[in-house]
């Protein structure tokens, strides 16, 4: 018997609800209704605490996943960039729909137009070290909150960094504000950025088969390779890292990967081609073993 109604656990933010509504629309095309189960996570409530102090990537997903594991929801809808590299026991990444723009956007000024010493607000070490590599004169300030909050806190004479996909999905009109979409050669995206991830219980074969209908294979191949890169770096790697894979219709992948020092003085980059998650693992081993990544100072 086909599944006709699903409960989807999701963070309660406007962006997370958009993402869940989007998954619901994809499933509606296959005769499936979706009811959102909003979860306000501890990470969403404690905006004054840096994400790394709350456990890093898992801070945004643990309570959403718990709703699936304890039966309050059938699926969980996440931003793929929020998922830890290793999946939770009992859950499976059942679908990755078509990916949106993975790039980052500088709002407030273009990078080459920022005055010496100008402030860029971002809570991401990945973003900070890549900007510092190109502009070591810049000053950085921490910033957390939803997209509206971040856009309201552009420093005087400075800029904030946000994800292009978030602006697009929420339909935010930046008006006459200076904006620069950062090419991946300037700012390599976070693993999974721009992609959605739909999880369900690993033992629910019927639901896994249903969710396969909304899978976008090229997006899945790219995200799997990027996540394998992160997993190979190791769960205890606290250094800034990034990876962006591009997939062809035949499964061929090209992947750019980055590992940096926290002060932005060293950025190690690698580009490789191949197929499957092993491409990401190979990129991580190259940066760690051949490019000197293991000697980079940690926090």
**Which sequence positions are flagged as catalytic?**
82
Q: For residue 264, what is the DSSP state?
A: S
Q: Collect all residues with Cβ–Cβ distance below 8 Å to 124 and sequence separation of at least 6.
A: 161, 190
> CA-to-CA distance for 40 and 297, rounded, in angstroms?
35
Dihedral angle at the C-alpha atoms of 95, 167, 68, 97, nearest 10 degrees? Answer: -10
Cβ-contact 80, 144 below 8 angstroms:
no
Strands 179-182, 104-107: pairing kind? antiparallel
What order do you get walking across the sheet with 5-11 strand by strand? 33-39, 5-11, 75-79, 196-201, 91-95
The phi-psi region of residue 261 (left if phi > 0; otherwise alpha if psi is between -120 and 50; otherwise beta) is beta
Using CA atoms, how far residue 240 sits from 21, 56, 105, 144, 163, in Å, is 32, 12, 18, 17, 17
C-alpha closest to that of 260 among 112, 84, 128: 128
Cβ-contact 114, 135 below 8 angstroms:
yes
Angle in degrees, 0-180, between the axes of helices 278-285 and 217-233, rounded to the nearest 10: 30
Number of residues in the chain = 299
Distance linking the first and last C-alpha atoms of the chain? 53
Cβ-contact 79, 170 below 8 angstroms:
no
């Amino acid at each position: 018997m086909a599944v006709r109604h699903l409960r989807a656990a999701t963070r309660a933010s406007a962006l997370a609800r958009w993402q869940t509504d989007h998954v619901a629309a994809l499933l509606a095309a296959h005769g499936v209704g979706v009811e959102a189960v909003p979860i306000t996570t501890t990470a969403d409530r404690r905006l004054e605490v840096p994400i790394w102090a709350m456990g890093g990537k898992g801070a945004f997903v643990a309570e959403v996943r718990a709703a699936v594991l304890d039966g309050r929801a059938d699926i969980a809808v996440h931003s793929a960039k929020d998922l830890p590299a290793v999946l939770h026991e009992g859950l499976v990444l059942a679908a990755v729909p078509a990916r949106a723009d993975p790039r980052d956007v500088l709002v407030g000024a273009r990078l080459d137009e920022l005055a010496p010493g100008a402030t860029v607000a971002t809570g991401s070490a990945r973003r900070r070290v890549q900007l510092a590599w190109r502009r070591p004169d810049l000053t950085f300030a921490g910033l957390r909150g939803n997209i509206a909050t971040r856009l309201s806190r552009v420093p005087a004479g400075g800029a904030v960094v946000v994800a292009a996909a978030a602006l697009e999905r929420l339909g935010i009109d930046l008006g006459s504000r200076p904006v620069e979409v950062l090419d991946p050669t300037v700012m390599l995206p976070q693993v999974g950025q721009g992609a959605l991830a739909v999880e369900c219980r690993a033992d629910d074969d019927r639901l896994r088969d249903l969710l396969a209908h909304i899978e976008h294979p090229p997006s899945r191949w790219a995200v799997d390779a990027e996540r394998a890169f992160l997993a190979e770096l190791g769960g205890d790697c606290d250094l800034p890292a990034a990876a962006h894979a591009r997939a062809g219709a035949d499964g061929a992948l090209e992947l750019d990967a980055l590992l940096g020092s926290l002060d932005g003085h060293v950025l190690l980059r690698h580009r490789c081609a191949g197929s499957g998650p092993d491409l990401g693992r190979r990129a991580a081993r190259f940066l760690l073993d051949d490019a000197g990544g293991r000697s980079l100072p940690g926090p």
